[in-house]
């Protein structure tokens, strides 16, 4: 079936079986291999992309369900020479070892910062109405959908903390 996908500002016509997940469409049909497949079951976050600015697991959704929506992948956030603030902070703080989880971590963190700016609370927020301060505990909780087999968590939190500081 035909689906019109708008990815990183470009329009792509996808003609694929309805079974095609958004992740497989990106990687296998459109050559956008930045988004990774870890578990294919919503458990690891390696496939995280943004849809209309919100983070989701691209492995647990069908490409045909996103006709006309704006999709942003790691390729759309920045590129060598023109890194996004989070991309640069991950490099600076060594927020990875093998790098496999990194595109998902960065896409997830990009949307997470926006959620916090909009005042969304998390499970560890003491107060449900206050503007949450993104300390280490808040960042870890909000990023818990992104696993890192290499265990680079402390540097990931440091990288995100730097960007939180730059925005304050």
Residue numbers at the binding site for ligand FES (CB under 6 A): 37-40, 42-47, 57, 59, 96-102, 148-150, 152
**Least spacing, CB of residue 145 vs ligand FAD, in Å:** 8
43 binds ligand FAD (CB under 6 A): yes
| Residue 144 is a binding residue for ligand FAD (CB under 6 A) | no
Q: How far is the CB of 81 from other proteins (least distance, A)?
A: 29
Pair 67, 4: CB distance under 8 Å: yes
Q: Which does 115 bind (CB under 5 to 8 A by kind): other proteins, ligand FES, ligand FAD, none?
A: other proteins
The CB density around residue 166, as the number of other CB atoms within 10 Å, is: 9
Q: Which does 141 bind (CB under 5 to 8 A by kind): other proteins, ligand FAD, ligand FES, none?
A: other proteins
* 37 contact choice in ligand FES, other proteins, ligand FAD, none (CB below 5 to 8 Å, kind-dependent): ligand FES
Place of tokens 């958004």: 22
Exposure of 71 by Cβ count < 10 A (0-12 exposed, 13-18 middle, 19+ buried)? buried
Q: Give the position of tokens 């020479």.
A: 81
Q: Distance (Å, rounded) from C-alpha 34 to C-alpha 100?
A: 9
């Amino acid at each position: 079936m035909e689906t019109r996908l708008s990815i990183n500002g470009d329009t792509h016509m996808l003609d694929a079986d309805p079974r095609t997940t958004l992740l497989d469409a990106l990687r296998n049909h459109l050559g956008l291999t930045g988004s990774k497949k870890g578990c294919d079951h919503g458990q690891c976050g390696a496939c995280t992309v943004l849809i209309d600015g919100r983070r989701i697991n691209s492995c647990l959704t069908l490409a045909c369900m996103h006709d006309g929506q704006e999709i942003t992948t790691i390729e759309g956030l920045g590129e060598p020479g023109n890194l996004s603030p989070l991309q640069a902070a991950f490099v600076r703080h060594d927020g990875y070892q093998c790098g496999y989880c990194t595109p998902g971590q960065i896409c997830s963190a990009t949307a997470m910062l926006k959620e916090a700016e909009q005042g969304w609370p998390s499970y560890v927020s003491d107060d449900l109405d206050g503007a949450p301060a993104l300390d280490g505990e808040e960042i870890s909780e909000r990023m818990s959908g992104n696993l890192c087999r290499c265990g680079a968590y402390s540097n990931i939190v440091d990288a995100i903390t730097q960007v939180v500081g730059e925005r304050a």
